[in-house]
Amino acid sequence: MTNYIGRFAPSPSGPLHFGSAVAALASYLQARSQSGRWIVRIEDIDPPREQPGASDAILNTLTTLGLLWDAEVTYQSQRSRTYDDALERLHAARLTFACCCTRKELAGGPYPGTCRDGHDAAKSARTLRVRIGHGEIAFDDLIQGRVSLNRQSIGDFVLRRADGLYAYHLAVVVDDAASGVTEVVRGVDLVESTTQQIFLQNVLGYPTPRYAHVPIVLDEFGAKLSKQTFAAPIDAMRPSSVLFNALTFLGQNPLVELVDASPEEILDWAVRNWQIRLVAKQSKAS
Ligand SMILES: [Zn+2]
């Protein structure tokens, strides 16, 4: 075992689909190929978007695929106190402010700073935001290369939502640090949000993990990849074909004879032959 700790962090909004299986497999292989540990975290901090039973269904599917994790599964729903502690630290550092702007008032753009120096006393506070400041936030992604965003284009983002729930970025950063995650492998749809997470790591004094963002499986692939195979819930499919197809999607050129192999045999081959440099930078559909 090395110090490497990787993780897969699904939200239980539904059963594992092929796209999340790809992300799970990539993070698993990146960890195992370096003799590292691989952990699973259930991101269940958004009850309105969750589906009853989805957490267990996801864990069962991972087990069926042979993607076995090392430590006890963590659930974000049980970690409110830790998130509160982080919010308290950011508050003490004068990095947070209450915001009364509605989503409609902000019209989807980066936060214009309306409540940064105190909000309209006639309105009540809705969200808690963080002061992001000025300048670039950049990192070198193992697959996507250099990623850089200007803080003004990101804007002061929300840490606690109007409904009182913790924002995704806060929970992710606190949990990755608590678990000692050294490298995050996940879908490229999250590549830009990495800059917000790096910002929070910096102000909370946490180390920044390495990042690798893999292509995501898009609906537009329907033309190339059979919908029957890829849109169906994973648990209804043969685990070996899921793994084989996910390896193919990740550019790993699995041996043809592995089509009929067991999940264990496929994973054994994949761990020994995993090459992250073969993963496409962009999804082929884009
Ligand atoms: Zn505001």
For residue 20 the two structure tokens come to 């999340």
Q: What's the pLDDT score for residue 16?
A: 87
Q: What does the pLDDT read at residue 159? A: 98
- 98 and 179: one domain? no
Ligand 1 centroid to Cα of residue 213, in Å, is: 32
Q: Are residues 92 and 147 in the same domain?
A: yes
Distance, CA 274 to ligand 1 centroid (Å)? Answer: 47
β-strand pairing of 96-99 with 127-130: antiparallel
- 143 and 231: one domain? no
Average pLDDT for the chain:
91
- Nearest Cα residue to 6 out of 209, 264, 248, 274: 209
Q: Are residues 65 and 199 in the same domain?
A: yes
Alpha helices in 33-133 (DSSP H): 54-65, 80-92, 103-106
Question: How far, in Å, is the centroid of ligand 1 from the Cα of 101?
Answer: 4
Distance 261 CA to ligand 1 centre (A): 56
Q: How far is the CA of 191 from the centre of ligand 1 (A)?
A: 26
The pair of structure tokens assigned to 274 is 């995993």
Do the domain assignments include residue 91?
A: yes
- Read off the pLDDT band of 286 (50, 70, 90): very low
Judgement on whether residues 89 and 228 belong to the same structural domain of the protein? no
pLDDT higher at 281 or 86: 86
Look at residue 104 in the predicted model and tell me its pLDDT.
Answer: 86
Taking the centre of ligand 1 as the mean of its atom positions, its distance from the CA of residue 116, in whole angstroms, is: 7
The candidate with the shortest Cα–Cα distance to 4, out of 165, 182, 200, is 182
Distance 118 CA to ligand 1 centre (A): 9
Q: Is residue 178 part of a domain?
A: yes
Tell how far the Cα of 82 is from the centroid of ligand 1, in angstroms: 25
Domain that holds residue 50: 5-79+173-278
Q: What is the pTM of this model?
A: 0.91
Residue after which a domain boundary falls, among 143, 168, 193: 168
Same domain, yes or no: 45 and 186: yes
AA identity, residue 268: D
> CA–CA separation, 13 vs 252, rounded Å?
29
Taking the centre of ligand 1 as the mean of its atom positions, its distance from the CA of residue 206, in whole angstroms, is: 28
Predicted confidence (pLDDT) at residue 210 exceeds the cutoff of 80: yes
State in Å: Cα 108 to ligand 1 middle: 13
Mean predicted confidence (pLDDT) in 63-70? 96
CA of 171 to the centre of ligand 1 (A): 22
3-state secondary structure of 212: strand
**How close is the Cα of 119 to the center of ligand 1, in Å?**
7
